[in-house]
Amino acid sequence: MVETTISVIKADIGSLAGHIVVPDFLFEAARKSLKEGVNQKIINDFYVTNAGDDLELIMTHNKGEGAEDVHKLAWDTFMKGTELAREKKIYAAGQDILADTFSGNVKGMGPGSAEMVIEERRSEPIAIFMADKTEPGAFNLPLYKMFADPFNTAGLVIDPNLHDGFRFIIQDIMKDIPCFIEMKTPEESYDVLALLGSTGRYTIKKVYRADGMITASVSTDKLHAVAGKYVGKDDPVAIIRAHSGLPAMGEVLEAFTMPHLVSGWMRGSHAGPLLPVGLKDSRCTRFDGPPRVVGLGFQVSNGVLIGPVDLFDDVAFDITRQRGMEIADYLRRIGPFQPHRLAEHEMEYTTLPKVLASCENRFVEEEIVPKTKAKDTSESAE
């Protein structure tokens, strides 16, 4: 059996006309760099794409998770791209590059990554989901639905291979040191939901089938945790295996048919619906959004990526997008008010605290009655 590692490493290193879309010359530079990586036998194969302003490097190799030379290849690719983006004065050039030198792994250096080591099955269909203007917790709801909700995934009821359920590895991403818990569905579904409902704190890291087969991997990197301040979004990526004893590709995609609300729209400070879109619509425009997700389907074949299929480029998702846009339009009418604008604790790492600081020392302990202006009595006295 062939053992293959799939690594998706992404970074926002600059985009066109604001935080909208990765420019073509960055795709070209990334492809050139990864081609060299193939020639040097660092990786087997790759596909370069974008989720809005994020450059996405989808790679296969056989070196396992966190392999130094694979991560260095991605890092060097982002560095080369950043240099070009700076030369051309592209907006936010090098935004997610938060370290000067590479130190063994892209983790904690700005870029996000999801990785998975698989023993290739007789046929290995996978989906890569890449989101823009949101955070890792955006995948909590769809992944729960995929692997634990029989109303989404018929196989949980019908297919004996899925019937025993799944194990969720959940990460507390607010902890300085990565902290994980394992929970099993369906037995612990309510506990799983108790955690996953707090999308800003608990995120799915991996999902395994009950027998231990790896089936999902999600990036959980938090940029502000690295930079200590708001520098951009932690736009997440996820790798999902489908079929033959796992949710079918259609069940995987079904989980995205409800445009659920996610955090991260405009200035990382607003909630909005997650729109599943085809690659041609992978660019956030209205109010820098709405947040969106693209999905690419591949067959992994002896370490080579065959495809992709642009999974959401289908009329079947028009109704979801329409619904999402109506929700977006409704939310925009609320403007700076919660729940469109995020709650204060979620704004801790944005620029709002700077504004609030100037109001803070004007608070007093007694209710204030504004002084009235002295009346001008000169006319009535005549």
12 is a catalytic site residue: yes
SS3 237: strand
Tell me how far apart the alpha carbons of residues 332 and 134 are, in angstroms, rounded to a whole number. 17
Residue 116 CB-half CA count within 13 A: 26
CB of 272 to ligand F6R, least distance (A): 11
Number of residues that bind ligand F6R (CB under 6 A): 11
Partner from Mg ion, ligand F6R, none binding residue 26, C-beta < 5-8 Å depending on class: none
Query: By CB under 5 A, is residue 221 in contact with Mg ion?
Result: no
Query: Judged by CB, which is closer to ligand F6R: 11, or 59?
Result: 11
Of 12, 45, 132, 235, which residue is the catalytic one?
12
* 91 flagged as catalytic: no
Q: CB atoms < 10 A from the CB of 251, how many?
A: 22
Number of helices and strands in the chain (H, E): 10, 15
Residue 283, interface with ligand F6R (CB under 6 A)?
no
Does residue 112 belong to the site contacting ligand F6R (CB under 6 A)? no
Residues 262 and 196 sit within 8 Å (Cβ to Cβ)? no
> Which residue do the tokens 């209205």 mark?
286
CB of 159 to Mg ion, least distance (A): 36
Residue 229 CB neighbour total at 10 angstroms = 12
Instruction: Tell me if 45 sits within 8 A of 126, measured CB to CB.
Output: no
The identity of residue 247, as a single letter, is: P
Q: Are strands 166-172 and 275-276 parallel, antiparallel or unpaired?
A: unpaired
What is the footprint of ligand F6R within residues 263-282 (CB under 6 A)?
Answer: 266-268
Contact positions with Mg ion (CB under 5 A) in 35-54:
53-54
Q: What are phi and psi of 31, to 5 degrees?
A: -65, -40
Residue type (1 letter), 262: V
Residue 59 binds to ligand F6R (criterion: CB under 6 A): no
133 binds ligand F6R (CB under 6 A): yes
* Spatial distance between the Cα atoms of 50 and 70, rounded to a whole number of angstroms: 19
- Residue 19 CB, nearest distance to ligand F6R (Å)? 4
User: Does residue 115 belong to the site contacting ligand F6R (CB under 6 A)?
Assistant: no
222 binds Mg ion (CB under 5 A): no
- CA angle, 312 as apex, 35 and 92 as ends, to 5°? 55
- Find out whether 94 and 88 touch, Cβ atoms under 8 Å: no
Q: List phi, psi (to 5°) of 343.
A: -65, 160
DSSP 133: S
Binding residue (CB under 6 A) for ligand F6R from 7, 11, 19, 139: 19
User: Would you call 230 a catalytic residue per the annotation?
Assistant: yes
CA distances from 254 to 155, 247, 280, 318 (A): 13, 10, 21, 13
For the bound state, the minimum distance from the C-beta of residue 133 to ligand F6R, rounded and expressed in Å, comes to 5
Q: Which residue is nearest to Mg ion (CB)?
A: 19
Q: Does 209 bind ligand F6R (CB under 6 A)?
A: no
By the rule CB under 6 A, 232 interacts with ligand F6R: yes
Residue 209 lies near Mg ion (rule: CB under 5 A): no
Max distance between CA atoms of the chain, in angstroms, equals 105
Q: How far is the CB of 59 from ligand F6R (least distance, A)?
A: 23
Residues 117-146 that bind Mg ion (CB under 5 A): 132
| Cβ at position 111, least distance to ligand F6R in Å | 14
Compare residues 245 and 278 and give the one whose CB is closer to Mg ion.
278
Active-site position among 230, 234, 235, 349: 230
Residues of the shown chain interacting with ligand F6R in the complex, contacts defined by CB under 6 A: 18-19, 53, 92, 133, 232-233, 266-268, 288
Residues of the shown chain interacting with Mg ion in the complex, contacts defined by CB under 5 A: 12, 19, 53-54, 92, 132, 232-233, 235
Active site residues: 12, 230, 233
